[in-house]
Amino acid sequence: MPGKTPNSNGRKPVENGLQKNSKDADKSAAKGKPAAKKGAKEGEDMTVVVPPSKSTKQSSQPPPADAEGDVAMEDSEKTEEELEVKVDPVTQTISDIKSNFALLDRAVALFDARFSLRALRSISSLRKRLNPDILAQVIAESYPPTSPSASVAKQLLSAIGRENVPLGRQPTGSEMEVDSEPKTQAKNGAKKDKETNKELIPEVDVFLAILVQVYMFDTKQFQQGANFSKYLSERIHSLNRRTLDSLSAKVYFYFSLFCEQLTPQAPSPQSPVVTLRPTLLAALRTAILRKDVDTQASVIVLLLRSYLLTSHISQADLLVSHTQFPENAANNQVARFLYYLGRIRAIQLRYTEAHEHLTAATRKAPASQCALGFSQTATKLLLVVELLMGDIPERATFRANNMEQALHPYFLLVQAVRVGNLEDFESTLAEHADTFRRDSTYSLILRLRQNVIKTGIRMMSLSYSRISLRDICIRLHLGSEETAEYIVAKAIRDGVIEATLDRERGFMKSKEVGDVYATREPGEAFHDRIRACLALHDESVKAMRFPMNQHRLELKNAQEAREREREMAKEIQEGDLDEDDLGGDFDGM
């Protein structure tokens, strides 16, 4: 990772933030080795790659145009990476946390959620460096002892076990000296702002509280974490500020994570996950009423997850049918929602829908290492659903280098289904039963038995023009010829094969295979693809972001141009226009 050029890092921090979160959600879904492996891998690229205080710089600059935000970052990164070596990690972390306050301030001032999202993204880079001392120091420095929000700060401090740290302490001078020239200025500027504006906005409270949550989760203090989150969610509920939306989504996210970790764990109906549901449902109701898209999306996803953990499929289905998932939700929430929806539909035997949702989920899943767990889990489910639909997944899916190992049992399964070998299928199923059960695909895979038989019959119908039922029975390891007869008859009715049965003489006779190109099949496939392309075009148009009031400017320009033209036309009519004049005007246009 450190070998990467700064240029390609341009978008990196943004992605990291997103993926980290989706990984969290799927940690237990992916259960086991991929998660553990990932944790370690991520650790190293987090600390090296992510430029920590890009926002410090930005807050000292005049706010750049939004489109240029990412470009500007690249430059700052180059310098930052060099600096990072010299800076003391504790000071660095503290200043990083504080730099986010500025972002939150701007989010409130400009009423633009993007700034708070940016602050949230930095959590993943801060995460590895958090400890109670750093948190306590930040809290102590940010809250003046006399302000009304001091009680909030006290609460935060007691949550991390540092009740006795006095508020309002000033940072010591020595810490500043380590920083290089331009950054010190930036920080001083930021601090001056803070001192003049004594009252801290609630967004900062909540942001610090989220950091506390993250810290507790990483140090496995699940019970305290759950209690703290409960208090926090109540506080958020009472605040009712639109600028808090994206932050509160995060709070609920961690709240539910804490509950999942508490004993008794999920499948038991006494799990705290179940008791959390009323809170989440209340939050969902409020979020919908306040048109709070972030919280809405994340709470719906959490509820679905909680229902599926306890296998309350019908309740999950009801939730989906009674709520509308916000259209413009964050991408990773959409991916998760689609995954859960795909699961529900797969269980309900609605494979076509399940396939659609799961394909979308795997495509929307972030493509890098950090969300590997999610993509793996989604791909596994997708494979099973494809098999259930009677399709054979592409070989390339199994060859992707980070998937190969995790998908191996599924690869064997696909092989068995493809050949139609019932024996192989049974043995694979028995051998990897634990894996499948852990992935909670076992019951779906059990349903595959009939597909194996169908494929077997199809293979035989393709290879033989006439085959006796006895042979079918032996090849497919079926109980008796009678069974074979019924099964073949059903396969013919379901359109799996084109054949007829002869009962007296006991054989199956295959019909001539028709020309596929004479049917409507190719036309339909073509139509599907065109439709997908058109949908893609529409979506990309929708996804474009236009600057406010830009069209008015254009209108004005057009207006001016027309004016000029009219004047010119008038002048030409009047005949007092010489060559130079004309040329000049055209250049101007």
Partner 1 sequence: MAAERTLQQIITQLKSNPSLPYAEASSLLSKAKLVYEYGALASIRARNPDAFTRYLSQLQPFYELPSSQLKPDAEMRNKVTGLYLLLLLTQGSYAEFHSELESLGTREGIDGPDRIESDRFLGYPVKLERWLMEGSYDRVWKAMKKGEVPSEEYGVFSEILTSQIRSEIASSSERAYPSLPLSSTKSLLFLESEGAVVEFARQRGWAVRDGTIYFPTAAEAGEEEEKDISQMVIENTLGYARELETIV
Residues that bind partner 1 (CB under 8 A): 267-270, 310-314, 317, 347-350, 433, 437, 442-443, 446-447, 449-450, 453, 478-480, 482-483, 486-493, 499-504, 520, 523, 527, 530, 534, 537
If the CB atoms of residues 75 and 482 are measured against partner 1, the closer one turns out to be 482
If the CB atoms of residues 43 and 523 are measured against partner 1, the closer one turns out to be 523
If the CB atoms of residues 138 and 453 are measured against partner 1, the closer one turns out to be 453
CB of residue 258 to partner 1, shortest distance in Å: 21
Q: Which residues is 468 bridged to in the sheet? A: 507
Provide the edge-to-edge strand list for the sheet that holds 507-510: 466-468, 507-510, 499-502
Burial track 555-588 (b if 16+ CB lie within 10 A, e otherwise): eeeeeeeeeeeeeeeeeeeeeebeeeeeeeeeee
- Token pair recorded at residue 127: 């995460």
CB of residue 272 to partner 1, shortest distance in Å: 14
CB of residue 342 to partner 1, shortest distance in Å: 14
Burial track 367-393 (b if 16+ CB lie within 10 A, e otherwise): ebbbbbbbbbbbbbbbbbbbbbeeeeb
CB of residue 243 to partner 1, shortest distance in Å: 37
CB of residue 523 to partner 1, shortest distance in Å: 6
SS3 430: helix
List Cα–Cα distances, 485 to 421, 426, 451, 457, in angstroms: 18, 22, 16, 11
CB of residue 390 to partner 1, shortest distance in Å: 13
If the CB atoms of residues 240 and 268 are measured against partner 1, the closer one turns out to be 268
CB of residue 526 to partner 1, shortest distance in Å: 8
Q: Do 148 and 119 contact (CB within 8 A), yes or no? A: no
Query: Cβ atoms within 10 A of the Cβ of 497, count?
Result: 19
Q: Do 240 and 295 contact (CB within 8 A), yes or no? A: no
If the CB atoms of residues 226 and 492 are measured against partner 1, the closer one turns out to be 492
If the CB atoms of residues 140 and 453 are measured against partner 1, the closer one turns out to be 453
Residues 452, 413: Cα–Cα separation, whole Å: 10
Burial track 328-364 (b if 16+ CB lie within 10 A, e otherwise): ebbebbbbbbbbbbbbbbbbeeebeebbbbbbbbbeb
* Number of helical H runs and strand E runs in the chain: 31, 3
- Token pair recorded at residue 534: 């058109």
CB of residue 456 to partner 1, shortest distance in Å: 11
233: Cβ contacts below 8 Å, ≥ 6 apart: 248, 251, 252, 255, 279, 283
Our CA dihedral for 215, 221, 227, 229, rounded to 10 degrees, sits at: 30
CB of residue 543 to partner 1, shortest distance in Å: 15
Quote the distance between the C-alpha of residue 34 and its chain's center.
17
If the CB atoms of residues 37 and 350 are measured against partner 1, the closer one turns out to be 350
CB of residue 191 to partner 1, shortest distance in Å: 53
CB of residue 354 to partner 1, shortest distance in Å: 12
- Token pair recorded at residue 96: 């990083």
Residues 411, 427: Cα–Cα separation, whole Å: 13
CB of residue 312 to partner 1, shortest distance in Å: 7
Q: Which of 253, 203, 216 is nearest to 21 (CA)?
A: 253
If the CB atoms of residues 106 and 355 are measured against partner 1, the closer one turns out to be 355
If the CB atoms of residues 44 and 502 are measured against partner 1, the closer one turns out to be 502
If the CB atoms of residues 520 and 542 are measured against partner 1, the closer one turns out to be 520
Q: Which of 9, 15, 8 is nearest to 332 (CA)?
A: 15
If the CB atoms of residues 382 and 388 are measured against partner 1, the closer one turns out to be 388
The contacts found for 538-544 with CB under 8 angstroms, 24 or more apart, are none
If the CB atoms of residues 486 and 586 are measured against partner 1, the closer one turns out to be 486
